[in-house]
Amino acid sequence: MIPGTFDYHSPDTLDEAIKLLNDLGEDAKVLAGGHSLLPMMKWRLAEPTHLVDISRLSDLDYIKEENGYLCLGAMVTESALENSELIAAKYPILKDTSEVIADPLVRNLASVGGNIAHGDPANDHPATMLALNAIVVVCGPNGSKREINIDDFFLGPLWTALQDNEILTEIKIPIPKQYSGGCYIKLERKVGDYAIAACAATLDFENGQCISAGIGLTNVGPTPVRASDSQNMLVGTDVSDEIIEKASVLASETSQPVGDHRGSEEYKRGVVKTLTERAIMKAKNRALGGN
């Protein structure tokens, strides 16, 4: 790798990191796991003059349930998520997602926070976080802290609600109810590739009826896409095969894919339907006690 010239900063505390970002302005980029930023620097598509490395901030590395939420520190690695017993038992959709990101070497370093903060609609966690109705916790200068609803976080390709002097510190996910299930299904040309398309689905059931649904789509729009019509179709039903079919068609219609070497628009819409169908089916099984 022969990137452009940059200064490297390795703060010891979160406050110090935020101060650096605040002082350095837009020429600084946060370096977490580095697996989105470094490839861009390698190609000189990104040439930040300062890198603020937050990988030593161990207080951002935790997976815990607290006050009704699953709280993921921003520096939790994909492999930590993949191997967590708590995640496997209660949040299999997160395990599904981590497992299909890149390859094990990357997952050992890449962080869940970075995957979201990078704002790439081709990344896998964003759609999952949409389906899970996550909240993004962000810290800024002078001890400021705000919570951003995931629906307000992604603004465009590589563009999020994060300010230059803010750091994404935590992701909060509501603890699932008794009859809840979710899953993430990705179609890729080869292991480790960006998705041709992928679908994250979550369902909550009460008395056999779906009371809420989350459908998020990867890499079929300028931001991760929430398939609201599809969600609405499911809520208040028993999520029969017929309903699933209809909801999947709606997801396909909501998606905004662009043709590229991963597939034409027509093909991507086709597979969004298929993936949504499969994801809802699997989420339903998981919610109702299957796998």
Partner 1 sequence: MGNLIGKAVKRVEDNRFIKGEGKYTDDFNMKNQTFAMYVRSPHAHAKINNIDISSAEAMDGVVKVFTGKDIAEAGIVGSICGWQVDFKNGDTMKEPGHPILVADKVRHVGDPVALVIAEDKYIARDASELIEVDYDILDAVVDPKAAVHDGAPQVHDDVPNNKIYEWEIGDKESTDTAFENAHHVTSLSFHNQKLVPNAIEPRAALGHYDSNEDKYTLYTTSQNPHLARLIIAAFVLSIPEHKLRVISPDVGGGFGSKIFAYNDECGILWASKQIGRPIKWTADRSEAFITDCHGRDHVTDAKLALDADGKITGLRTKTYAAMGAYLSNFSTCVPSYLHGTLMQGLYTTPAVHVDVTAVVTHTVPVDAYRGAGRPEATYSIERLIETAAKEIGMDPAEFRKKNFIPAFDGVSQPGYQTQVALQYDSGDYEGALNKALEVSDYEGLKSQREEARSKGRLMGIGFSTYIEACGIAPSAVVGSLGARVGLYDAASIRVHPTGKVTIHSGAHSHGQGHETTFAQVVADAFGIGMDDVNVVHGDTENVPFGMGTYGSRSLAVCGSAIMKSVDKVKEKGARIAAHKLECSPDDLEFANGAWTVKGTDKSVGFGDVALTAYVPHDYPEGEEPGLDFASFYDPANFVYPFGTHICVVEIDKETGEVEILKYVAVDDCGNIINPMIVEGQVHGGIAQGVGQALYEGAVYDDSGQLLNGTMLDYTMPRADNFPMFETDHTVTPCPHNPLGVKGIGEAGTIASTPAVVNAVIDALSDYGVKDLQMPLTPQRVWKAMNNNGKL
Q: Supply 185's token pair.
A: 């299904």
**Judged by CB, which is closer to partner 1: 43, or 159?**
43
Q: In this structure, how many other beta carbons lie within 10 angstroms of the beta carbon of residue 116?
A: 27
Minimum distance from CB of 197 to partner 1 (Å)?
9
Q: Supply 77's token pair.
A: 């690695």
Minimum distance from CB of 12 to partner 1 (Å)?
28
Q: Which of 12, 13, 39, 152 binds partner 1 (CB under 8 A)?
A: 39
**Judged by CB, which is closer to partner 1: 162, or 247?**
247
**Judged by CB, which is closer to partner 1: 34, or 192?**
192
Buried b (16+ CB within 10 A) or exposed e, 14-38: beebbbbbbebeeebbbbbbbbbbb
Positions in 186-225 near partner 1 (CB under 8 A): 187, 189-194, 196
β-sheet bridge partners, residue 218: 198
Pairing of strands 28-31, 50-53: parallel
β-sheet bridge partners, residue 236: none
End-to-end Cα distance, the chain:
43
Show the binding pattern over residues 40-69: x = contacts partner 1 (CB under 8 A), - = does not: ---xx-------------------------
β-sheet bridge partners, residue 159: 156
Query: If binding is defined by CB under 8 A, does position 34 make contact with partner 1?
Result: no
Positions in 239-278 near partner 1 (CB under 8 A): 261-264, 267, 270-271, 274-275
Binding site residues, partner 1, CB under 8 A: 2, 4-5, 39, 43-44, 187, 189-194, 196, 261-264, 267, 270-271, 274-275
